[in-house]
Each structure stands twice: as C-alpha cells, then as structure tokens.
Amino acid sequence: MTSPASEPSQTALTAEAEVVGQLQQLIRLDSTNFGDGSGPGEAAVAEYVQAQLAEVGIEAERFFTTSGKRSGVYARIAGKNPDRPALLAHGHLDVVPAVGDWQHAPFEAEIHDDMVWGRGAVDMKDGNAILLSTVRAWAKAGVQPDRDIVLLFLPDEEAGGKHGAHWLVDNRPDIFEGVTEAVGEVGGFSFDVSDDIRLYLIETAEKGIRWMQLTATGQAGHGSMLNNRNAVTQLAETVTRIGQHKWPVVVTKTNQALVRELSDAFGLDIDPTDVESVIKIMGPLARMIGASFNNTAQPTMLQAGYKHNVIPEQAHAFIDGRVLPGFEKDFDEQFNALLGPGIERTDLIQDIAIETAFDGATIDLMCASLREADPKARPVPFLMSGGTDAKAFTRLDIRCYGFIPLQLPKDLDFSALFHGVDERVPVDSLKFGARVMDRFLRQC
C-alpha cells in the first residue's frame, strides 16, 4: 500500500488555480514557426508573458533577436542564497504549424473531455503556463526560492534555435551569469506500469540534429521522350534507400540505465539490445523510446518539377536525421553510403547530441518532488529522440534536463500529440505540473 500524497503548498494551490487559464491565453496567441521566417513570430506572446510577470511585480526584459518578430522574455528571480549557482528554467514560445483536420480549432484553446485542446498544448505552452503560474504565485505570496532562478521564454526552438537560444548564447552571455544547470522540455511525464508503479521519464540525453537537403541533377527534357538521366528517378531511388534503411542498435549509457529500471519495474530480464522487447512494454511511448536505440534518418519533404510534361533538371529531398550521443561519425558514414551517384548532400541545420548522468542533488530533488505529489512515482532517465534548446545551453557547460512534470491518464497516447493533429493536455495534468514545479523550484 502506498502512502497518500502530501498536501500542496499555498503557492502551489494558487498556481494550480490559474495554470489552465494561462495555457489558454498562450495558445490563443498564434506563434506559428514555419521555419522560413514567415508566420506571426513570437512577439505577441512574448509581450503577454512580460505583462503577466510585470503584473505581479517581476521585472522582466522583452528581448529581440534577429528581427522585430523574433522575441522572448528574460527574468531573474533572486534566491535566498546568492552564492549558490543559478538554475535556468526555460521554455519556447513558438509552435509548429497546425495543419490537418482538427476536432477543435487549434488556436481557440477550448476545453473538452477535461483537456485543453490546441497547438502548443504539449509542445510547449503547457510548460510555459506552469512556469508562469508558479513564479506569479511566488510573487503574490512573497516567496523566495533558495537560489537564483533564471527564466527564459524563447523564440525559434521549432526551427533549431538560430533566432533564439543559440543567438542568446552568442550575444547575451550576461543572461547566463552563474547558471550551472537548466530544466526545460521534454520530461517528467508519467507512464503507468501497474497499480503500484508509475514511471516518470526525466530527460537526461537527446539526439543531435542533421537536417539535410539532397539534390539530384539530371537532364531536363520533354516528359514524352526517353530520358535515362531523370533527376526525379535518381532522387526517388536514394530516398527509398534512406527510408528503408535499418540502422544498427546502439545502447547508450542513458538507455542502459532506463532498461535496468524497466526490467525491475516490470519484473523482467530485458536485454538492452533487444529493442523489440523494450518497445513491447512501452505502449504509447514506443515510437519515442524505440527511436532512441539507433540513429535515424526520415525523408520529410520532396520538391521537383514545374509542369506535368517537363522533366526537371533538378529534384530535391529533405531529410530529418537524428544522431545518438557519441555516434555522429557513424551516422555520417552510413548515411553517405546510402546516397546514389550524383546526389549532393547539403546540411541545413546541424546541432549536437547531449547526455548527462542521472545523479546529483538536482535530480534527487526532482525525484523527491514527484514522489511527494505521487507516492507511486518512480523517476527514470530517458534519451529523447528529438531535440530542444538545451543543445544551445550545453555550449556554456550548463547541465541540462527535461523536466516539465505531467501525470498523464493511462490511455493517453502522449507521444503522438507532439506536432500532431488534435494536440491536447489534461487539465489535471497541468495542475499536477504546477504542484510539482512549485516544490522543485522553491527548494532546488
């Protein structure tokens, strides 16, 4: 039998009371990032965040990076012990486009089935709402954290952070003075094992990014004539090879630790190289966790031609490559071997893979904060298949974790909601996140 959860603090109750409304307001401010400089940018939502902080007396700077649309917010909340290193708590304000047939309008933030629906509900305006509600509750109650908390609400994460986190690292070192650790997306969410065990996955590693363009050059001509140098055909053969390639299994330190925890929680003896066995027990998280045991390269876009009866001189494909920590060279060697004759590779966006250990006082406090709110909690490390702004902060030797706590319904396919149609987050999950974040940030 598990013991009951501890009663939340008054500031946690205050944050819980407003976190849903904060998320709704953030979603309704469209900050779609198309990755090409178009779209509304983040200025409107950044202005809202700054105003919400100012309303409770928190001095915050609204900064601009590479244009008037690329905007974010910075604040530093002074801690009781100024000699301690500071903690960075960060979230990104931009969202991916909301295409497809949605059950509920993606920018209306309607509540249905006890969930807030809309683009950004899980990636990651939920995290922004949790952070914003938490520090607002502190300000109202006169609460001070133990050490300095640096708040960053950032632009451009969804396109690699060139106009956001990376720009700040290069141009605003003052923001990061004294910061040694950081928390952001994606981590702290739950996965039910049994009536007595609920895993909470804390991100301690993430893949690197290789966003590439492939170009095939052939001979232009009339579509009705023979042509053995058709660029579209050459490109299609290469894209097919890439899409069907089976990348070898690689077990990182993080996944070794994860599989040990899974084996113990499920009462199984799981071989970490047996990815199918891992996937089998992970339910709706299988697509996310399964992708963390090998490098991947997924074709995502094709561009060719301008008229039905004209064979174009060039054809282009765009590939989303993700690279495990320490295996960048292996990725490049294997990927380049898949390219057909005459196919040119251009790297559009590259970023590092990162990995840190699942230990230390900050991890211990994350675990304690989760267990206090949920006695069934069993925190475990995981390697995320995607990437976050943590890559930029790691350049400053800041130790980064993914920790936006959410206790999720057992039947919710959480990993499908990232960048998916009908993105949504449970109301109770948001309130749980505010409760856990309040305790963690106050005491860290």
Q: Which domain holds residue 325?
A: 208-351
**157 and 271 fall within a common domain:** no
Task: Supply the pLDDT for residue 171.
Answer: 97
| pLDDT number for residue 1 | 46
CATH number of the domain where residue 268 is located: 3.30.70.360
Same domain? 50 vs 187:
yes
Please report the pLDDT score of residue 208 as a whole number: 94
Residues 296 and 363 in one domain: no
Q: How many domains does the chain contain in total?
A: 2
- Assign residue 371 the CATH number of its domain: 3.40.630.10
Task: Give yes or no: residues 41 and 184 share one domain.
Answer: yes
The predicted-structure confidence for 300-359, as pLDDT tens digits, reads as follows 999 999 999 988 899 999 999 999 999 999 999 999 999 988 899 999 989 999 999 999
Each residue's pLDDT tens digit, 162-208: 999 999 999 999 999 999 999 999 999 999 999 999 999 999 999 99
Residues 225 and 273 in one domain: yes
Is 2 part of any domain?
A: no
- Asked whether residue 115 is domain-assigned, the answer is yes
- Which residues of the chain are modeled with pLDDT < 70? 1-4
User: Do 152 and 217 lie in a common domain?
Assistant: no
Give the model's pLDDT for residue 4.
67
**Is 1 a member of any domain?**
no
- Three-state SS string over the chain comes to CCCCCCCCCHHHHHHHHHHHHHHHHHHHCCCECCCCCCCCCCHHHHHHHHHHHHHCCCCCEEEECCCCCCEEEEEEECCCCCCCCEEEEEEECCECCCCCCCCCCCCCCCEECCEEECCCCCCCHHHHHHHHHHHHHHHHHCCCCCCCEEEEEECCHHHCCCCCHHHHHHHCHHHHCCEEEEEECCCCEEEECCCCCEEEEEEEEECEEEEEEEEEECCCEECCCCCCCCHHHHHHHHHHHHHHCCCCCCCCHHHHHHHHHHHHHHCCCCCCCCHHHHHHHCHHHHHHHHHHHCCEEEEEEEEECCCCCEECCEEEEEEEEEECCCCHHHHHHHHHHHCCCCEEEEEEEEECCEECCCCCHHHHHHHHHHHHHCCCEEEEEEEECCCCCHHHHHCCCCEEEECCCECCCCCCCHHHHCCCCCCEEEHHHHHHHHHHHHHHHHHC
Domain-embedded: residue 423: yes
d(CA 409, CA 174): 41
- 167 and 90 in a common domain: yes
Domain membership of residue 370 (yes or no) is yes
Of 285, 320, 351, the position where a domain reaches its end is: 351
